[in-house]
Structure 1
Amino acid sequence: MESATGRTFTPAQAWQKLREGNERFVAGTANHPNQDAPRRSSLVNEQNPFAVIFGCSDSRLAAEIIFDLGLGDAFVVRTAGQVIDDAVLGSLEYSVGTLGVPLIVVLGHDSCGAVTAAKATVETGEMPGGYVRSLVERITPSVLAAQRKDLHDVNDMVVEHTKQTSELLVESSRTISDAVDEGRVAVIGLSYRLAEGRADLVSGFGALEHPAVQRSAAPK
């Protein structure tokens, strides 16, 4: 797809750009790009982001900051615990089908409160009330999957949840899975470490040369 700067990005190039921005953030040498008045004016009538970032709502996980991005660079979707629902799927399909974004990022992080709550529910059998219950119910399968792999630390469960969420996206959306199989889009899972500021690739689907990334979408 073509960015607002006129550059065309492949999924691999989009991931490279995010990785470079995160490295600057970790090193404390962020450029803070695309945040001036001319950039703002150039985006009034259109947007052409090169990535969509679906991450946790946690205040410590500001996507544009940790990847050193600016206005118009990323289409961002956030829910507590990066939990998928119809609105999330619709937003991601819009980013792929209408905006032509080549890279979907599922962004989890250590010390996640939503995953911690799901872990506590599994261990105690006590379910939280209100709509928090819905969040916990959607994360619980990831917690159980982690336990089956003998992973009991909450941060290991976060990684498993990120992997499970990436897979669920391509299983749930024909728009996304077809785009992956056609080589137009990659879906990757990143696990962010709060203390270091680093986002590590842990899973994915699509045309990226990395051992954690499968070439094609998960079968329906």
Structure 2
Amino acid sequence: MKKNSWKKLKRDFLSGTCFVLLVLVFATVPGQAQQATVGLSTPELVKESTVYATVNVENAENLDAGQFDLEFNPAVLKVVGIENGSIGKTEIPVQWRSIDSGTVRVIFNLEGVTGVSGSGQLASVGFEVIGDGESELFISDGLLGDTEAKSIDTDWGVSGASSVDADLRDAETEDTPKATPGFEAVLTLTGLTTAIYLIRSGQR
């Protein structure tokens, strides 16, 4: 009788020990952070109208600064303005300049040092549809940085941009979204800070 009780006690002790070890293992393994994604959302293009394309971000963590280029067909579209974005209640203050007739560069730097996390819009880009033909929008040379001046791992391959015939008022967007170019961090965060400073200085 005592022998059976001892075996049961030993078995219960081992089971309890294994359970505690499993709890400790899972408690010490950190959860894998979700990768940030950036993509475009574009409306139907109608000739002689002004439309807005939004640059969306998802799963941003401690976002503090960033930049990207937006490429388009200058024979069809003309940039008329770029509005600030927002993540939650935090505004994303943007500045921009033309690189060439078919490319604009957008940069932003949040005020303070707290950064922002979550999903929202980085910017809203206003286009005037000035010509016939097709124009696809592409994001390139993208870079996001966090509050520790480190690059944020970002997927720039998600896009809502599609090819649309600008002279058809009832044009239908293609079912298959066009993929944007992959992530290319061509500027370090130091270079990004310098670019922000130069643009601000030029506006004075």
Q: Do they fold alike, i.e. is TM over 0.5?
A: no
Indicate the structure (1 or 2) with the bigger Cα radius of gyration: 2
Query: Quick check: which one's helix share is greater?
Result: 1
Query: Quick check: which one's strand share is greater?
Result: 2
TM-score under structure 1 length normalisation? 0.28
TM-score under structure 2 length normalisation? 0.30
